[in-house]
Amino acid sequence: EPPKSKRDKAQLHHQLRDFMSAGPEERLKAIEICVKWGDKSVLPFLRRGLKDSDSRVVITSASGMQQQKNNIPLDQENLPPRNVALMR
């Protein structure tokens, strides 16, 4: 269940940092939490997981990154590129 308040969010981030500093099982658990949460604020953890020595962590991080990539808000989907002014 995603955190509801800023304090809960900060506590979860702290817990994820601790898990990422521990052994491979804890890192895998942290990445699985990040994937289930699906918030943009967990992207640094997912990126770090892509460079992990445990292949299970890398695979789980990659699937989480793919989910994040596919969750583009509809209002951003139709916008022109940011450098459109330079193209004219």
Q: How confident is the model at residue 69, as a pLDDT?
A: 80
Q: How confident is the model at residue 70, as a pLDDT?
A: 79
Q: How confident is the model at residue 3, as a pLDDT?
A: 78
Q: How confident is the model at residue 68, as a pLDDT?
A: 83
Q: How confident is the model at residue 26, as a pLDDT?
A: 95
Q: How confident is the model at residue 60, as a pLDDT?
A: 94
Contact 38, 68 (CB under 8 A): yes
Q: How confident is the model at residue 51, as a pLDDT?
A: 94
Low-confidence ranges of the chain (pLDDT < 50): 74
